[in-house]
Amino acid sequence: MKKEDKNDIKKIKNILSDETNKGNNDFDILFLVDATGSMSEYITAAKEETKNISDELMKLYPEKMFKYGYIFYRDPVDSKSDQHEVIDLTDNVNSFPEKIGKIVATGGGDIPEDWVGAYKLANEKISWRNGIKVIMHLADAGAHGKLFTLNDKYPEEEGKLIAELEKCAQKRIKIFGYVIDYKAENSFNECAKIYRSKGGSFEILKFQAIPMEETNKFAPKYDMKKEPKYPIKYPKCRPMMNNMNMMNMNMNNMMMNHINMNNRKGKNMNMINMMNMGAPNPFTMNNRAAPPMANLNQMNINMNFQRNAINSIQSIMDKP
């Protein structure tokens, strides 16, 4: 093994051991989230899951003093109207629904996004404490610079990102990169190589969807005798009704009712006209008991957002 390689391994081991953090219970977690047009569901997950993440981590590590922050970044490099948004570290997790609720997924311009601006804000605008520092970076698109995105038209961004990563490594920030789409994968891989060469800890994980059958396990059983209250927010969502027999029975009963009504009134009103006039629609009835597919997808992303965040923190705490 080359001497340079041994030195790199020693640097990494020194940072992972956190010798300087022993006895310090401060634990800062910064979520770095792409907030361009395709990321709306992940912004919603951040709004809805931060408190759940906090509650779970407090149960697991009651001695730690957790703080949470967010950087929602876009791409002012390519679209000047794009703006980044920063929520500095705080232990007031109850404030996040309101703060994040005002943020919308918008902008983006070309495919790469402004990772330089995101990490620059992490270095300059976040009130890091002296304990453990973590960045969880969620992205579905890569960074500017040809090293990170092959045909990028802003090559000057490459050196800027390397410089910001070096500053993060000097601050001993541990980074978890979550690949939401393949377009971000090369950028994460290259950033990890650079970061590790500077003695930093950079883990790459795939932000994969939880199987839908696993999502459904968390949905409460639907009580046919009790009408659900609206609106229902995650996790008290309305479960999917997959019982085709029940649906068929509802349709059969409705058809019989319509036939009886027609016979009593002696009118030739067909089934479609009756339903258009306000008769119960079996598909509408079913939708009242089942969330739209978009809601199930949001629930899926929320669960994955929470699970990955907690698993990442546990991976740090479980190191000897």
Helix boundaries (H) for 143-243: 157-170, 185-197, 212-217
Instruction: Give the phi and the psi of residue 71 in degrees, each rounded to 5.
Output: -125, 120
**276 and 303 inside one domain:** no
Say whether 127 sits in a helix, a strand or coil. coil
Give the pTM: 0.72
**65 and 50 inside one domain:** yes
Distance CA 225, CA 108 (A): 48
Q: Is 316 within 8 Å of 16 (Cβ atoms)?
A: no
Largest CA distance in the chain: 96
In a domain, 231, yes or no: no
Q: Can you give the pLDDT at residue 4?
A: 53
Distance CA 181, CA 188 (A): 11
Q: Can you give the pLDDT at residue 158?
A: 97
Domain residues for the domain of 31 are: 3-212+296-317
Q: Can you give the pLDDT at residue 318?
A: 84
Per-residue pLDDT of the chain (320 residues; tens, 9 = 90+): 555 555 544 444 444 445 455 679 999 999 999 999 999 999 999 999 999 999 999 999 999 999 999 999 999 999 989 999 999 999 999 999 999 999 999 988 789 999 999 999 999 999 999 999 999 999 999 999 999 999 999 999 999 999 999 999 999 999 999 999 999 999 999 999 999 999 999 999 998 656 555 555 544 443 434 444 434 343 433 344 344 444 444 544 554 554 444 444 444 444 434 334 444 444 444 444 455 666 888 999 999 999 999 999 999 998 76
**305 and 173 inside one domain:** yes
Q: How many domains does the chain contain in total?
A: 2
Strand partners, 119: none
Task: Give the position of tokens 């993440």.
Answer: 53
In a domain, 225, yes or no: no
CATH number, domain at 115?
A: 3.40.50.410
